[in-house]
Amino acid sequence: MPIESALQSFLLALSSLFSIVNPVGGSLIFAQVTAANSHAERIELARRIGFYAALVMVAALWAGAPILSFFGVSLGALRIAGGLVVAASAWGLLNRPEAREARKQAEVGAAGAGPPVSTESTRRGREALAEIAFFPLTLPFTTGPGTIAVAITLGSNRPALPADRIAFYVGVSVAALCVAVTVVLLYASADRVVSLIGPVGARVLGRLFAFLLLCVGTQITISGITDVFGPMFAGR
């Protein structure tokens, strides 16, 4: 049924996107790189980042696979390659989450997110926030290449039937919006997250969702292999 299909798609996309975005771990770094900003500026930044992150994820979910298909990349090949990328990314998160978070922090610091936001006027302050909200705090800090690859891979797993496809896109889009809302809430309350969970708790949660992401990548790869090699064995 469409409702069941939408629910399955929602749960699959939610676990995958939440794992790769890792808003809990990201909020710990966000608290560090925005230490010079006021609480109101952090909330404004969190809202902008959540909005941009939702646009990036939904666009990749909806348009990523059709664009690759336009360039002649078959759905089976896309699933195999995307599944391998997702599995490799999950494996890295599972074994070396500290290295990934350190790289994120270095990217943000190199792009200049660390300096204080100008407080000469409200207008200048908002302009400064707008400049860093998309780059580097959304790309590549929150929704980087890994998130885009996961979203495109999930989008390539769309069903063939129109009714199921609509339910699929509804489910994955709602999941992306939920992840974006989670980013807003956790980033806006980054100080509380740091004191409540701490780095160790964030790493434990990160490893748990990384394992789920590894399972998702493996399943997508299996689906792609079945699409490519299934007709060969069926014809024999």
Query: Residue 81 corresponds to which tokens in the numbers above?
Result: 């390659």
Going by C-alpha positions, the residue among 218, 196, 217, 214 that lies closest to residue 206 is 214
Residue 234 placed within a domain: no
pTM of the model: 0.72
Parent domain of 52: 2-226
Question: How many domains, in total, are found in the chain?
Answer: 1
Residue 71 placed within a domain: yes
Residue 231 placed within a domain: no
Give the number of residues written for the chain: 236
- Digit-by-digit pLDDT tens for the chain (236 residues) are 578 889 999 999 998 899 888 898 788 778 877 877 888 889 999 999 999 999 999 999 999 878 877 888 777 787 788 778 778 877 876 776 555 555 555 655 555 544 444 444 455 556 666 778 888 788 877 887 778 888 988 888 888 788 788 999 999 999 999 999 999 999 999 888 877 877 777 677 767 777 877 887 788 788 888 888 877 776 66
Cβ-contact 62, 154 below 8 angstroms: no
Which ranges constitute the DSSP H helices of 71-117?
A: 75-95, 97-111
| DSSP structure class, residue 61 | H
Residue 18 placed within a domain: yes
Residue 235 placed within a domain: no
Going by C-alpha positions, the residue among 24, 47, 211 that lies closest to residue 126 is 47
Residue 236 placed within a domain: no
Side chain identity at residue 138, one-letter code: T
Residue 52 placed within a domain: yes
Residue 232 placed within a domain: no
Task: Name residue, tokens 């070396």.
Answer: 96
